[in-house]
A and B are shown apart, each in its own frame.
Chain A
């Protein structure tokens, strides 16, 4: 199988604080992981591609200083939302693909609420 674990599943934080979300591949190594954002009733928007041992690649319009991505090992990528504001409240999901012919596996998502 291919299992991706995401933690926490939900978090509430105060405006101005930072929040870290973890994404782990449990039974395979992932040199590449992906971070998505999803607004209510909308589809997933790719934010960035996380590359093990190198800098993440961000999609157009995504602030790299706001959304810090670290992929320090073959099984862990983290997304840190820095100085969070209410407009950062959203559902964040990570994914990884075990192999090109296996398809993508997604984490269970993190509901972030900034108050």
Chain B
């Protein structure tokens, strides 16, 4: 059974810092891995999608890496801003067809 774990559960940093969010999964048989952002009371916004054959994806200040063999992914946020404050969710798309979520990392960027 696929399990997805995110560390840390919460993170508070001053504005301008670079930071790394971690995601690990137990079954490497995945189609892809997706990072999402969720603001309080809102739906999910897709940030980055990494296919199982890829090592990383970049979008603006965001960079996500994938090491499928070790079951790990990281989301790197450069030069953090208060507007980055949100919950970040990692999800793996199993070859069984389901999207399995981690518990999320609640990020707070202080001005």
Contacts and interface: CB of A to CB of B under 8 A. Distances in A.
Given A34-B99, A44-B101, A103-B32, A108 B49 contact: no
Secondary structure at the B interface, as helix, strand, loop or mixed, is strand
B75 interface: no
A14 B48 CA distance: 40
Interface string A99-115: 01111111111010000
Secondary structure at the A interface, as helix, strand, loop or mixed, is strand
B34 A103 contact: yes
A58 interface: no
B41 A106 contact: no
Interface in B83-111: 89, 91, 93, 97-104
A48 to B, nearest CB: 11
B43 A93 contact: yes
A95 interface: yes
Interface in A1-56: 6, 32, 34, 42-44, 46, 49
Interface of A: 6, 32, 34, 42-44, 46, 49, 91, 93, 95, 97, 100-109, 111
10 contacts: A44-B101, A49-B97, A91-B41, A100-B31, A103-B32, A104-B91, A104-B93, A106-B36, A108-B42, A108-B43
Given A103-B32, A105-B46, 18 more contacts: A43-B89, A43-B101, A43-B102, A44-B101, A46-B98, A46-B100, A91-B41, A95-B44, A95-B99, A103-B49, A103-B93, A104-B46, A104-B91, A106-B43, A106-B44, A107-B43, A109-B41, A109-B42
